[in-house]
Amino acid sequence: MIQLHCFGESGNSYKAALTLELAGLEWEPVFVDFFNGETRGPEFRRLNPMGEVPVMVEGDLVLSQSGVIQDYISSKTGKFGGRSAAERREILRWVFWDNNKMSSQAGPLRFMMNFLPPEKRLEPVIAWLAGRFRAALEVLEGEVGRRDWLVGAQPTIADLACCGYLFYTEPFHFDRADWPGIDAWLSRIADLPGWTPPYDLMPGHPSDRA
Protein backbone atom coordinates (compact mmCIF):
# COMPACT_ATOMS: atom_id res chain seq x y z
CA MET A 1 0.00 0.00 0.00
CA ILE A 2 1.16 3.52 -0.78
CA GLN A 3 2.11 5.58 2.25
CA LEU A 4 2.18 9.35 2.24
CA HIS A 5 4.24 11.05 4.94
CA CYS A 6 2.34 14.25 5.58
CA PHE A 7 0.47 16.43 8.05
CA GLY A 8 -2.83 18.24 7.83
CA GLU A 9 -1.58 21.81 7.76
CA SER A 10 0.72 21.19 4.78
CA GLY A 11 -0.74 22.44 1.51
CA ASN A 12 2.04 20.74 -0.42
CA SER A 13 1.06 17.45 1.22
CA TYR A 14 -2.56 18.11 0.37
CA LYS A 15 -1.75 18.32 -3.35
CA ALA A 16 -0.31 14.79 -3.22
CA ALA A 17 -3.00 13.41 -0.90
CA LEU A 18 -5.83 14.84 -2.99
CA THR A 19 -4.31 13.44 -6.20
CA LEU A 20 -3.97 9.98 -4.59
CA GLU A 21 -7.55 10.12 -3.33
CA LEU A 22 -9.19 11.41 -6.51
CA ALA A 23 -7.20 8.93 -8.62
CA GLY A 24 -8.77 6.16 -6.52
CA LEU A 25 -5.52 4.64 -5.27
CA GLU A 26 -5.28 2.77 -1.98
CA TRP A 27 -3.10 4.83 0.31
CA GLU A 28 -2.60 5.69 3.93
CA PRO A 29 -1.18 8.80 5.55
CA VAL A 30 1.81 8.60 7.91
CA PHE A 31 1.71 11.52 10.33
CA VAL A 32 4.84 13.69 10.39
CA ASP A 33 5.15 15.70 13.59
CA PHE A 34 6.45 18.81 11.86
CA PHE A 35 5.63 21.16 14.72
CA ASN A 36 7.82 19.16 17.07
CA GLY A 37 10.73 19.19 14.65
CA GLU A 38 10.42 15.74 13.05
CA THR A 39 11.41 16.96 9.56
CA ARG A 40 14.65 18.38 10.98
CA GLY A 41 15.64 15.10 12.67
CA PRO A 42 18.12 12.52 11.32
CA GLU A 43 15.51 9.79 10.81
CA PHE A 44 13.35 11.96 8.55
CA ARG A 45 16.41 13.34 6.76
CA ARG A 46 17.38 9.78 5.86
CA LEU A 47 13.96 9.45 4.21
CA ASN A 48 14.23 12.86 2.54
CA PRO A 49 17.45 14.90 2.72
CA MET A 50 15.44 17.95 1.61
CA GLY A 51 13.66 17.76 4.99
CA GLU A 52 10.23 18.29 3.45
CA VAL A 53 6.83 16.70 3.26
CA PRO A 54 5.17 15.16 1.36
CA VAL A 55 7.13 11.95 0.87
CA MET A 56 5.45 9.05 -0.91
CA VAL A 57 6.64 5.50 -0.26
CA GLU A 58 5.53 2.53 -2.36
CA GLY A 59 7.69 -0.50 -1.66
CA ASP A 60 11.25 0.51 -2.57
CA LEU A 61 10.12 3.66 -4.34
CA VAL A 62 10.53 6.88 -2.36
CA LEU A 63 9.38 10.12 -4.00
CA SER A 64 9.37 13.66 -2.73
CA GLN A 65 8.25 17.02 -4.13
CA SER A 66 4.50 17.19 -4.59
CA GLY A 67 4.86 17.83 -8.34
CA VAL A 68 6.83 14.61 -8.82
CA ILE A 69 4.35 12.62 -6.74
CA GLN A 70 1.43 14.08 -8.71
CA ASP A 71 3.16 13.29 -12.01
CA TYR A 72 3.86 9.72 -10.85
CA ILE A 73 0.25 9.12 -9.77
CA SER A 74 -1.04 10.53 -13.03
CA SER A 75 1.29 8.33 -15.10
CA LYS A 76 0.48 5.25 -13.01
CA THR A 77 -3.29 5.62 -13.18
CA GLY A 78 -3.78 7.44 -16.48
CA LYS A 79 -5.86 10.01 -14.59
CA PHE A 80 -5.48 13.81 -14.35
CA GLY A 81 -2.82 13.81 -17.07
CA GLY A 82 -2.64 15.33 -20.53
CA ARG A 83 -3.96 13.82 -23.74
CA SER A 84 -1.05 14.96 -25.92
CA ALA A 85 2.57 16.00 -25.55
CA ALA A 86 1.45 19.63 -25.78
CA GLU A 87 -1.08 19.15 -22.95
CA ARG A 88 1.50 17.36 -20.82
CA ARG A 89 3.94 20.26 -21.23
CA GLU A 90 1.18 22.74 -20.43
CA ILE A 91 0.27 20.80 -17.28
CA LEU A 92 3.90 20.70 -16.18
CA ARG A 93 4.08 24.46 -16.81
CA TRP A 94 1.24 25.13 -14.39
CA VAL A 95 2.59 22.76 -11.76
CA PHE A 96 5.95 24.56 -11.96
CA TRP A 97 4.22 27.93 -11.85
CA ASP A 98 2.34 26.85 -8.74
CA ASN A 99 5.51 25.65 -7.04
CA ASN A 100 7.46 28.75 -7.99
CA LYS A 101 4.97 31.59 -7.86
CA MET A 102 1.83 30.49 -6.03
CA SER A 103 2.64 28.03 -3.23
CA SER A 104 6.03 29.64 -2.57
CA GLN A 105 4.11 32.69 -1.38
CA ALA A 106 0.90 31.13 -0.05
CA GLY A 107 2.68 28.48 2.02
CA PRO A 108 5.06 30.67 4.05
CA LEU A 109 2.42 33.43 4.30
CA ARG A 110 -0.19 31.09 5.80
CA PHE A 111 2.35 29.47 8.11
CA MET A 112 3.66 32.78 9.37
CA MET A 113 0.19 34.23 9.95
CA ASN A 114 -1.27 31.19 11.67
CA PHE A 115 1.25 28.66 12.92
CA LEU A 116 4.29 30.57 14.09
CA PRO A 117 4.65 32.11 17.54
CA PRO A 118 3.91 35.86 17.57
CA GLU A 119 7.58 36.86 17.76
CA LYS A 120 8.21 35.12 14.42
CA ARG A 121 5.29 36.82 12.66
CA LEU A 122 7.20 39.46 10.73
CA GLU A 123 4.79 42.10 9.48
CA PRO A 124 7.02 43.40 6.63
CA VAL A 125 7.48 39.83 5.37
CA ILE A 126 3.74 39.16 5.64
CA ALA A 127 2.99 42.31 3.62
CA TRP A 128 5.60 41.44 0.99
CA LEU A 129 4.40 37.85 0.62
CA ALA A 130 0.77 39.01 0.48
CA GLY A 131 1.60 41.32 -2.43
CA ARG A 132 3.30 38.55 -4.36
CA PHE A 133 0.50 36.10 -3.52
CA ARG A 134 -2.02 38.62 -4.83
CA ALA A 135 -0.11 38.90 -8.13
CA ALA A 136 -0.23 35.12 -8.48
CA LEU A 137 -3.96 35.05 -7.70
CA GLU A 138 -4.50 37.66 -10.43
CA VAL A 139 -2.79 35.40 -12.97
CA LEU A 140 -4.86 32.41 -11.83
CA GLU A 141 -8.11 34.40 -11.86
CA GLY A 142 -7.35 35.47 -15.43
CA GLU A 143 -7.15 31.83 -16.49
CA VAL A 144 -9.81 29.92 -14.53
CA GLY A 145 -12.17 32.88 -14.84
CA ARG A 146 -12.58 32.11 -18.54
CA ARG A 147 -12.47 28.31 -18.73
CA ASP A 148 -13.34 25.36 -16.52
CA TRP A 149 -9.90 23.80 -16.12
CA LEU A 150 -6.35 25.06 -16.47
CA VAL A 151 -5.39 22.64 -19.27
CA GLY A 152 -7.74 20.96 -21.73
CA ALA A 153 -11.33 19.96 -21.07
CA GLN A 154 -10.79 17.91 -17.93
CA PRO A 155 -9.30 18.47 -14.49
CA THR A 156 -5.59 17.65 -14.32
CA ILE A 157 -2.81 17.73 -11.78
CA ALA A 158 -2.32 21.37 -12.84
CA ASP A 159 -5.63 22.17 -11.09
CA LEU A 160 -4.80 19.86 -8.17
CA ALA A 161 -1.48 21.69 -7.68
CA CYS A 162 -2.71 25.28 -7.94
CA CYS A 163 -5.65 24.69 -5.58
CA GLY A 164 -3.45 23.15 -2.88
CA TYR A 165 -3.50 26.04 -0.42
CA LEU A 166 -6.80 27.59 -1.44
CA PHE A 167 -9.09 25.16 0.39
CA TYR A 168 -7.64 26.11 3.77
CA THR A 169 -9.75 28.50 5.75
CA GLU A 170 -7.18 30.04 8.08
CA PRO A 171 -6.69 33.76 7.31
CA PHE A 172 -3.85 34.34 4.86
CA HIS A 173 -5.00 37.21 2.65
CA PHE A 174 -7.23 34.99 0.54
CA ASP A 175 -10.99 35.34 0.49
CA ARG A 176 -12.83 33.38 -2.19
CA ALA A 177 -15.43 36.16 -2.42
CA ASP A 178 -12.77 38.48 -3.88
CA TRP A 179 -12.00 36.09 -6.75
CA PRO A 180 -15.16 34.92 -8.53
CA GLY A 181 -13.34 32.90 -11.17
CA ILE A 182 -11.18 31.10 -8.62
CA ASP A 183 -14.21 30.61 -6.36
CA ALA A 184 -16.19 28.85 -9.10
CA TRP A 185 -13.16 26.79 -10.12
CA LEU A 186 -12.63 25.64 -6.51
CA SER A 187 -16.29 24.64 -6.42
CA ARG A 188 -15.80 22.58 -9.58
CA ILE A 189 -12.84 20.82 -7.93
CA ALA A 190 -14.83 20.24 -4.73
CA ASP A 191 -17.57 18.62 -6.84
CA LEU A 192 -15.20 15.93 -8.15
CA PRO A 193 -16.11 12.45 -6.83
CA GLY A 194 -14.05 11.74 -3.73
CA TRP A 195 -13.00 15.31 -3.02
CA THR A 196 -12.18 15.74 0.66
CA PRO A 197 -11.01 18.87 2.49
CA PRO A 198 -7.42 18.94 3.77
CA TYR A 199 -7.98 18.25 7.46
CA ASP A 200 -10.26 15.30 6.70
CA LEU A 201 -7.71 13.73 4.37
CA MET A 202 -4.56 13.96 6.51
CA PRO A 203 -3.82 13.64 10.25
CA GLY A 204 -2.81 16.71 12.22
CA HIS A 205 -4.88 19.82 12.89
CA PRO A 206 -4.15 23.22 14.47
CA SER A 207 -6.43 22.28 17.39
CA ASP A 208 -3.94 19.54 18.32
CA ARG A 209 -1.66 22.28 19.61
CA ALA A 210 -4.31 24.39 21.31
Residues that bind a second copy (CB under 8 A): 49-52, 63-68, 71-72, 89, 92-93, 96-97, 99-101, 103-104, 108, 122, 124-125, 128, 132, 139, 142-143
CA distances from 120 to 115, 117, 207 (A): 10, 6, 20
Closest approach of Cβ 23 to a second copy, in Å? 17
Query: Using CA atoms, how far apart are residues 178 and 164, in angstroms rounded to an integer?
Result: 18
CB of 200 to a second copy, least distance (A): 25
The DSSP bridge pattern shows strands 2-6 and 55-58 to be: antiparallel
Residue 50 or residue 184: which is nearer to a second copy going by CB?
A: 50
Residue 117: CB minimum distance to a second copy, A: 15
Compare residues 49 and 193 and give the one whose CB is closer to a second copy: 49
Give the bridge partners for 158, in sequence order: none
H/E stretch holding 61: strand 61-64
The least distance separating a second copy from the CB of residue 201, rounded to whole angstroms, comes to: 21
Q: Where are the beta strands (DSSP E) in 61-183?
A: 61-64
54 closest CA partner among 116, 117, 107, 115: 107
Closer residue to a second copy, CB minimum distance, 59 or 193? 59
CB closer to a second copy out of 101 and 188: 101
